[in-house]
Homo-oligomer: A and B are copies of this chain.
């Protein structure tokens, strides 16, 4: 007893439905205002304000004042990764929502995991990159190979520039729907941005799901053929 870190504190933070919904909303990667988060949690702004203060005190959230707005985001990508892993665990234990809504399939296919692509397509992308030798996987780490760097350059991603950032280039993130790893880190983020910029896909307003255009989907699947 009374050993190690206090897991009850974060458990309690995540254990409240309103807070859990707000955190889930922030997994979409966009910075949201207190009012928007109140709506996401299904509560009034006053209540949301106290919740947000608690989450911030627990180092799960960061806020940025901008004019009279206050934008909240997850404190960093490790929070997103952590939440995703809880979702995976919860799904494996049968802790699902009462009714899997119509959006559920779309979420499983492709969604945003804080700032990178997750779901079936996210997993497929990483598998494909590894299969063609663009990414080397060893241990829990991932690394871009020389040939991978060239290949990524051709689709408009400057790996060299990404390397200079403080944030890790490649990181694996466990996918709750697929139960496999997908690509996080600054490269994961850059790839998603790339697809969005090209118009291959767009993020939806209310949900974390990512919608591919027919042409974008064709290009994506061609670029990342199924591994094996």
- Choose among B1, B90, B137, B139 the residue that contacts A7 (Cβ–Cβ < 8 A): B90
Interface centre among A8, A83, A103, A181 (most CB of B within 10 A): A8
Chain A 1-56 interface residues, beta-carbon cutoff 8 Å to B: 1-17, 19-21, 23-25, 39-42
A114 interfacial contact with B, CB 8 Å = no
Interface centre among A39, A92, A174, A176 (most CB of B within 10 A): A92
Q: In angstroms, how far is the closest chain B Cβ from the Cβ of A153?
A: 24
**Cα–Cα, bound, A8→B21 (Å):** 8
Chain A interface residue bracket vs B: 35 or more
- Choose among B7, B95, B177, B207 the residue that contacts A86 (Cβ–Cβ < 8 A): B7
A210 interfacial contact with B, CB 8 Å = no
* Residues A9 and B95 in contact in the complex (CB < 8 Å), given A87-B4, A107-B4: yes
Q: In angstroms, how far is the closest chain B Cβ from the Cβ of A76?
A: 10
**Cα–Cα, bound, A85→B4 (Å):** 12
A17, B8: Cβ atoms closer than 8 Å: yes
Chain A 194-217 interface residues, beta-carbon cutoff 8 Å to B: 206-208
B residues near A96, Cβ cutoff 8 Å? 5-6
A107, B3: Cβ atoms closer than 8 Å: yes
Q: In angstroms, how far is the closest chain B Cβ from the Cβ of A99?
A: 9
**Cα–Cα, bound, A17→B5 (Å):** 12
Q: In angstroms, how far is the closest chain B Cβ from the Cβ of A60?
A: 7
* Residues A10 and B138 in contact in the complex (CB < 8 Å), given A40-B1, A103-B3: no
**Cα–Cα, bound, A96→B7 (Å):** 9
* Residues A15 and B13 in contact in the complex (CB < 8 Å), given A7-B90, A97-B2: yes
B residues near A19, Cβ cutoff 8 Å? 8
A10, B137: Cβ atoms closer than 8 Å: no
A145 interfacial contact with B, CB 8 Å = no
Across the A-B interface, the 10 shortest Cβ-Cβ residue pairs: A11-B14, A12-B15, A11-B15, A8-B20, A15-B15, A5-B90, A137-B139, A5-B91, A59-B93, A9-B95
A and B contact pairs by CB, cutoff 8 A, 11 listed: A1-B25, A3-B208, A6-B90, A7-B87, A10-B11, A12-B16, A60-B93, A78-B89, A82-B85, A85-B85, A137-B139
